[in-house]
């Protein structure tokens, strides 16, 4: 089948298969050569040119000496500027601390603020390393289901209120925008959570790493920006790594709302939790200060791709349930109505030679679900979709019938 004509976007739709297959990062490196990877949340697109230029300048300057940051890295101010410019949130640079990645941020906050055996509420399904973190740290998981309703995935606030009360929860880990469903919580929904947090005096750890990958008309609202009360009880975690495709830079920020927790953080031995690399800081600053034009192009491509996934699933796998994600480049597919007798990740890998994520690692209730990463060029996406549809016994139809990739 011929693809419908669309504008091929330079820098996004012209990825060579040889370049992709030669990559050393895990997404393409780990699977066998005939497998197409649409699993881990890395995008296939090359590093944004402003980030490459900034890193090149450092390397060309041949100065990799100790950075001179007596009062913290320049990330602190850059983060506050970014939050104000993007989301109208007056975050405070003084409350920012650097870490290598969001998992480390979460572990440190849980380590400082909660204890062995404490109950922590968290949405399910969820980003697997967060659930794994709660288990390895021996925190009791209080699952907050993202229920599939006629309006898409929704949280049941009455159930959350009861669960928090019953379990004696002291903290809530909020992932918004949500991985894997792609939901962006509205101001009203965040307000419900804020009321529960206030009622039960919860610490809210808000992961907002996907915020800049929100599709209009949806709007990301930082949880801490809702009110003075949420500002005081929220720790916000983010980085430039998702929205600018920089997972390797190992650089993230934690914004501490609660004074007591910030003081506790600062009372730790200063190097116990490591320090960020100046290269990670340079890359983040370049992304936040010079990457917006690239990111606008990116969002055009991702918006097109999310619609394409939706269309193909609707037309060729009509039993599979899929909601158009409101943010992220991840499609969350419910294959349970197909009645498969094995996990769909395994079936798609064996029969379609496409590696996806999904199932049990995403938490209770995630069996039978697939997570498909659509941040790739159009021809790769068509091939991925064609193979997934075939492996799941879908209908013949337009696009994705194979032959989209140059040999
Ligand atoms: C919701 C969420 N939080 C945190 C992370 C971790 O990102 P990083 O390792 O770049 O800090 C990811 C990565 O996919 C994610 O989806």
Same domain, 200 and 310: no
pLDDT band at 4 (very low <50, low <70, confident <90, very high): low
Q: Is 90 within a domain?
A: yes
| Section 372-377 average pLDDT | 98
Q: What does the block give as tokens for 223?
A: 């949880």
Whether 403 shows a pLDDT value over 70: the answer reads: no
Same domain, 232 and 298: no
The answer to whether residues 152 and 242 belong to one domain is yes
**CATH number of the domain to which 364 belongs:** 3.90.1150.10
Domain span holding position 60: 55-290
Ligand 1 pocket mutation pick from 38, 176, 179 by most atoms within 8 angstroms of CB: 179
Question: 177 CA to middle of ligand 1, Å?
Answer: 11
> Separation of 358 CA from ligand 1 center, angstroms?
16
In this structure, is residue 374 part of a structural domain?
A: yes
> 266 and 342 share a domain?
no
Q: How many domains does the chain have?
A: 2
> Could you give the CA distance from residue 375 to residue 46 in angstroms, rounded to a whole number?
11
Do residues 400 and 382 lie in contact, with contact meaning Cβ atoms separated by under 8 Å? yes
* Residue 407 is assigned to a structural domain of this protein: no
Boundary of a domain, candidates 275, 290, 305: 290
Q: Whose CA is nearest to atom 6 of ligand 1?
A: 102
Judgement on whether residues 236 and 373 belong to the same structural domain of the protein = no
Confidence of residue 401 (pLDDT cuts 50, 70, 90): very low
Average pLDDT, the chain: 96
Q: Among residues 222, 255, 290, which one ends one of the domains? A: 290
Residue 228 within any structural domain of the chain: yes
In ligand 1, the atom with minimum distance to the C-alpha of 100 is: 11
What is the per-residue pLDDT across 302-359, written as a single tens digit (0 to 9) for each?
A: 999 999 999 999 999 999 999 999 999 999 999 999 999 999 999 999 999 999 999 9
Q: 326 and 208, same structural domain?
A: no
Ligand 1 in contact with 252 (CB < 6 A)?
A: yes
Q: Domain containing 175 — which CATH number?
A: 3.40.640.10
Does residue 196 sit within a domain? yes
193 and 169 in a common domain: yes
Phi and psi angles of residue 124, each rounded to the nearest 5 degrees, phi first: -130, 140
Neighbours of 269 (CB within 10 A): 6
Same domain, 234 and 374: no
Residue 141 lies in a domain: yes
Which of these three, 272, 290, 308, is where a domain ends? 290
> By C-alpha distance, which of 398, 363, 388, 292 is closest to 144?
363
**Residue 117 and residue 212 in one domain:** yes
Whether 2 is covered by a domain: the verdict is: no
Q: Are residues 343 and 368 in the same domain?
A: yes
At 402 the pLDDT is 54
Distance between CA 319 and CA 336 in Å, rounded?
9
Same domain for 231 and 167: yes
184 plus 333 within the same structural domain: no
């Amino acid at each position: 089948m011929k693809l419908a004509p669309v504008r091929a976007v330079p820098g996004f739709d012209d990825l060579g298969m040889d370049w992709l297959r030669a990559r050393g990062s895990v997404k393409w490196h780990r699977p066998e050569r005939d497998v197409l990877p649409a699993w881990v949340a890395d995008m296939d697109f090359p590093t944004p040119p402003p980030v490459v230029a900034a890193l090149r300048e450092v390397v060309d300057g041949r100065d990799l000496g100790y950075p001179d940051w007596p009062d913290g890295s320049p990330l602190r101010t850059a983060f506050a500027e970014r939050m104000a410019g993007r989301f109208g949130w007056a975050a405070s640079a003084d409350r920012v601390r650097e870490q290598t990645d969001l998992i480390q941020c979460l572990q440190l906050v849980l380590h400082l603020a909660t204890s062995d055996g404490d109950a922590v509420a968290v949405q399910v399904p969820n980003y697997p390393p967060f659930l794994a973190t709660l288990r390895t740290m021996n925190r009791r998981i209080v699952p907050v289901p993202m229920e599939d309703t006629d309006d898409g995935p929704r949280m049941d606030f009455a159930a959350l209120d009861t669960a928090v009360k019953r379990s004696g929860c002291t903290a809530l880990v909020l992932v918004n925008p949500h991985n894997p469903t792609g939901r962006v919580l509205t101001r009203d929904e965040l307000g419900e959570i804020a009321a529960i947090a206030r009622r039960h005096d919860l610490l809210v750890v808000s992961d907002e790493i996907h915020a800049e990958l929100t599709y209009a008309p949806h709007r990301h609202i930082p949880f801490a920006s809702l009110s003075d009360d949420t500002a005081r009880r929220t720790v916000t975690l983010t980085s430039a790594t998702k929205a600018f495709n920089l997972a390797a830079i190992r650089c993230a920020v934690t914004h501490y709302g609660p004074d007591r927790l910030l003081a506790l953080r600062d009372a730790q031995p200063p190097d116990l939790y490591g320090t960020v690399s100046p290269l990670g800081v340079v890359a983040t600053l370049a992304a936040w200060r010079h990457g917006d034009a690239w990111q606008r192009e990116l969002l055009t491509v991702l918006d097109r791709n999310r619609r394409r996934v939706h269309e193909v699933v609707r037309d060729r796998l009509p039993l599979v349930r899929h909601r158009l994600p409101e943010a992220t480049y991840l499609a969350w597919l419910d294959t349970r109505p197909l009645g498969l007798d094995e996990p769909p990740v395994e079936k798609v890998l064996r029969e379609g030679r496409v590696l996806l994520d999904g199932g049990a690692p995403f938490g209770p209730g995630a069996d039978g679900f697939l997570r498909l990463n659509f941040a790739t060029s159009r021809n790769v996406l068509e091939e991925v979709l064609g193979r997934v549809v075939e492996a799941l016994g879908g209908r013949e139809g337009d696009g994705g019938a194979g032959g989209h990739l140059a040999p």
